[in-house]
Structure 1
Amino acid sequence: MHRPHLSSFLPRWVALASLALLSACNTPPAKIKVYQSEGFEAAETYSRLFDAPVEQTCEAARRALLSQGYVVSVIKPDAINGTKSFQPEGDVHVQIEFHVVCASDGANGKIATAYVSALQDRYALKKSPNSASVGVSAIGSVSIPFMSSDDSLVKVASETIPAGPFYDRFFSLMHRYLREQAASE
């Protein structure tokens, strides 16, 4: 009986090891989960402290949203929601949905914190071409495309707008409305 020599396995082993090494190099790096990048940094908050009671703080938020063209859908003494639509390109639609919650800070109720977050949804136009078939006995059936009425917007992205200048501008406008309100009293 003939036993295979170790040297006959060596080329196969080298080939398999090389193949394993190459496949390991082609493996994409592990993706970081979205929640792992949440820093919960004290400097990057979605809130501001205001020198006014809850009702006045939320009223300033309502006026700030209305002044910028937002459609206010929820109006409560301690919460405001508003939306605004944009069309930056012909086949793209963007909608920003604002959420404001006002909470009392301090024992006397004369200070409030406004917590704000804005969600941006992006939609793209999905065209659904339709066609009609016409039967002609001499040549068979012919498909003729016609204008579609089944076009629809499809959500392609959704994200919370990150803390930063966007919210800073909103809070500055709220401060302005609160100063105007205090001056009129």
Structure 2
Amino acid sequence: MLDTSLPTPSRSSPASLLLSQRLLFRLIPAVTACLLAIGCASPPPTRTPGGSVPSSNIPPLTSEQSNSITIHALGLVGTPYRYGGNSPEGGFDCSGLIGYVYRQSVGQVPPRTVSRMAGFGRPVPMSELRSGDLVLFGSASPTHAGIYVGDGRFVHAPSTGGEVRLDRLDGVYWSRQPTQARRPG
């Protein structure tokens, strides 16, 4: 026959109950502090489908960061152009150059495509360009981009067979292109 009686719970001694209560009262504040610390932690920045951090999460560049971007960009002049390239070893296309320089200089990850860079940061009048700003070329949707380095000059990776180079915004070709500027932050 099957035993259907319920088991009787074992009774703990008063000393062990007191010890359990003391342990519980010591653990509650520690667990509460841990939960509060976890709850107050900032989540990592969300990334857009292109892998970049949305512009609203990017702080404005400091003058030191702008200088770092300029120095890194100028240091890459002469690197071969390669469509889809994003490293000095493999070459750069224009958006790969910008992404590499921003990651290395200030830890920011701009959008990977030029058309998405049109929404990166905030628009800046061309008369207010600062080193580190992005310059984008093309009318409705930009098709080329570079990094402004001061004195009317920008660094960019222009085309197949070329190299990363330094050009002037007021040069014959570039002065005729529709241009906009963006500043992260």
Same fold (TM over 0.5): no
> Which structure's CA Rg is the greater one?
1
What TM-score do you get using the length of structure 2 for normalisation? 0.32
Where relative contact order (Cα < 8 A, 6+ residues apart) is larger, the structure is 2
